[in-house]
């Protein structure tokens, strides 16, 4: 699932460059996700609407987890401008990792309780070292700016928002899994979550008069793959709802990050999808291996 994330990011970035506002491009991406999931549900004979029993058993907020995902995406978009690329990448990753292990430890969102033992702590430390080798050191060596436009208390506010973004990401992972367990089918749970979020975004875009931009996202004048980020999103969220009950929030989050960074490195190395070409260093390879070791250790 993590391997799909860089492609999703590239596609959504291209989509945003065509349609303009981030909330419109997110609506187009979520619409593709929802339509794909509806099609799968119809072909597989999976019910789309939840039953009255499901509505009674599931917490009210769990049906709106897709909207929380939209809020998280919105925060992430602003972080790059406010606190710079490096902090916008690292702070949410670290807070997501720590909070995902906390969710496992206490069994929040109905997750299986997995105590925070020595193996999991060492595994998390290996992952953090790996992220530093793969992401932080190459950017520092390249002399990339590490600060955004914010200063003083405003910067502190957005750093706190970055921490919140990571915690929300981990919470969304647990919430999707809980909804899947209650509904009994990860496809149905994912479909409902995406449908609610898509309708909320459509209502918002209608209220501010931006719905005319949606058609640009499906224009034949632009690359076909730019709307395929929605398909990736559907697969990733389905994988979340399907796998987290089996492996836990912590392992899923760590494995997702390994796949994401590994393919990002390859995309930059070969210049796929227009990415600026950057050679993979030995430090980055060591970093990925350390992250894989961390995932393996946390599963012991």
Please state the domain count of the chain.
1
Give me the pLDDT at residue 148, please. 65
Q: Can you give the residue range of the structural domain that contains 159? A: 4-298
pTM score of the predicted model? 0.86
Give me the pLDDT at residue 59, please. 87
Give me the pLDDT at residue 217, please. 79
pLDDT above 90 (res 274):
no
Confidence of residue 55 (pLDDT cuts 50, 70, 90): confident
Give me the pLDDT at residue 147, please. 61
Confidence of residue 82 (pLDDT cuts 50, 70, 90): confident
Q: Give dist(CA 119, CA 248) in Å, integer.
A: 15
Residues 6+ positions from 51 with CB-CB distance below 8 Å = none
- Provide Rg for the chain, Cα atoms: 19
Q: Give dist(CA 251, CA 101) in Å, integer.
A: 8
pLDDT above 80 (res 132):
yes
Give me the pLDDT at residue 145, please. 59
Burial class (CB in 10 A: 0-12, 13-18, 19+), 45: exposed
In terms of Cα–Cα distance, which of 99, 93, 178 is closest to 136?
93
Highest mean pLDDT among 149-158, 172-181, 266-275: 172-181
In terms of Cα–Cα distance, which of 298, 168, 176 is closest to 242?
176
Arithmetic mean of pLDDT, 6-23: 86
Confidence of residue 144 (pLDDT cuts 50, 70, 90): low
pLDDT above 80 (res 188):
yes
Confidence of residue 4 (pLDDT cuts 50, 70, 90): very high
pLDDT above 80 (res 92):
yes
Task: Share the mean pLDDT of the chain.
Answer: 89
Arithmetic mean of pLDDT, 190-203: 94
Distance separating the N- and C-terminal Cα atoms of the chain: 21
pLDDT above 70 (res 146):
no
Give me the pLDDT at residue 214, please. 87
Arithmetic mean of pLDDT, 222-233: 86
Say what percent of the chain tops pLDDT 70: 98
Arithmetic mean of pLDDT, 250-261: 93
């Amino acid at each position: 699932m993590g391997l799909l994330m860089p492609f999703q990011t590239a596609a959504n970035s291209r989509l945003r460059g065509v349609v303009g506002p981030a909330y419109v491009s997110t609506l187009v991406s979520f619409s593709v996700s929802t339509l794909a999931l509806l099609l799968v549900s119809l072909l597989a004979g999976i019910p789309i609407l939840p039953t009255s029993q499901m509505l009674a058993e599931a917490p009210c907020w769990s049906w709106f987890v897709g909207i929380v995902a939209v809020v998280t995406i919105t925060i992430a978009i602003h972080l790059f401008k406010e606190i710079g690329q490096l902090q916008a990448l690292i702070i949410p990753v670290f807070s997501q990792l720590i909070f995902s292990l906390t969710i496992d430890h206490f069994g929040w969102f109905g997750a299986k309780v997995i105590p925070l033992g020595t193996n999991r702590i060492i595994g998390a430390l290996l992952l953090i070292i790996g992220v530093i080798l793969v992401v932080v050191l190459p950017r520092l060596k390249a002399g990339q700016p590490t600060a955004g436009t914010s200063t003083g208390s405003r910067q502190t506010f957005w750093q706190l928002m970055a921490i919140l973004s990571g915690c929300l990401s981990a919470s969304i992972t647990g919430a999707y899994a809980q909804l899947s367990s209650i509904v009994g089918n990860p496809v149905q749970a994912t479909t409902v979550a995406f449908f609610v979020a898509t309708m909320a975004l459509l209502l918002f875009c209608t209220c501010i008069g931006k719905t005319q931009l949606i058609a640009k996202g499906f224009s034949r004048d632009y690359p076909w793959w730019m709307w395929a980020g929605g398909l990736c999103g559907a697969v990733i969220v389905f994988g979340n709802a399907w796998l987290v009950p089996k492996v836990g929030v912590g392992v899923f989050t760590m494995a997702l990050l390994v796949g994401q960074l590994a393919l990002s490195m390859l995309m930059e190395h070969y210049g796929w999808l227009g990415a600026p070409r950057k050679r993979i260093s030995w430090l980055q390879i060591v970093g990925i291996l350390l992250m894989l070791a961390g995932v393996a250790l946390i599963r012991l």
